Chains A and B, each alone.
Chain A
Amino acid sequence: MLKRNRIVKFKEMLIEKLLLCCSLLSVFTTAAIIYVLLSESVGFFKEVRIIDFLTDTQWTPLFTNKHFGILPLLCGTLLTTLIAIGVAVPVGLISAIYLSEYATVKMRHITKPLLEILAAVPTVVYGYFALLFVTPLLKKFIPGLSGFNALSAGLVMGIMIIPLVSSLSEDAMHAVPMGLREGAYALGSHKIQVAFKIVFPAALSGITAAVILAVSRAIGETMIVAIAAGQQPKFTLNPLVPIETITAYIVQISLGDTPHGTLEYQTIFVCGTTLFILTFALNVISFKLKRRFQEIYE
Chain B
Amino acid sequence: MSKTLFDKVWDSHVVQHIEDGPDVLFIDRHLVHEVTSPVAFLGLKNRGIKVLYPERTFATADHNTPTLNQHLPVKDELSANQLKALEENSKAHGIPYWGLGHEKNGIVHVIGPENGITVPGATIVCGDSHTSTHGAFGAIAFGIGTSEVEMVLSTQCIMQPKPKKMRININGSLSTGVTPKDVALFIISKLTTSGATGYFVEYAGDVFKAMSMEGRMTVCNLSIEMGARGGMIAPDEKTFDYVKGREYAPKGADWDKAMEYWKTLYSDENAVFDQEISFDASEIEPMITYGTNPGMGMGIQNNIPLADAVEGGNATYKKSLDYMDFNEGETMIGKPIDFVFLGSCTNGRIEDFRAFASVIKGRKKAQNVTAWLVPGSHKVEEAIKEEGILDILHEAGFELREPGCSACLAMNDDKIPAGKYAVSTSNRNFEGRQGPGARTLLASPLVAAAAAVTGKVTDPRELMEEVVA
Asked if A and B are interacting partners, one says: no
Interface residues of A (CB under 8 A from B): none
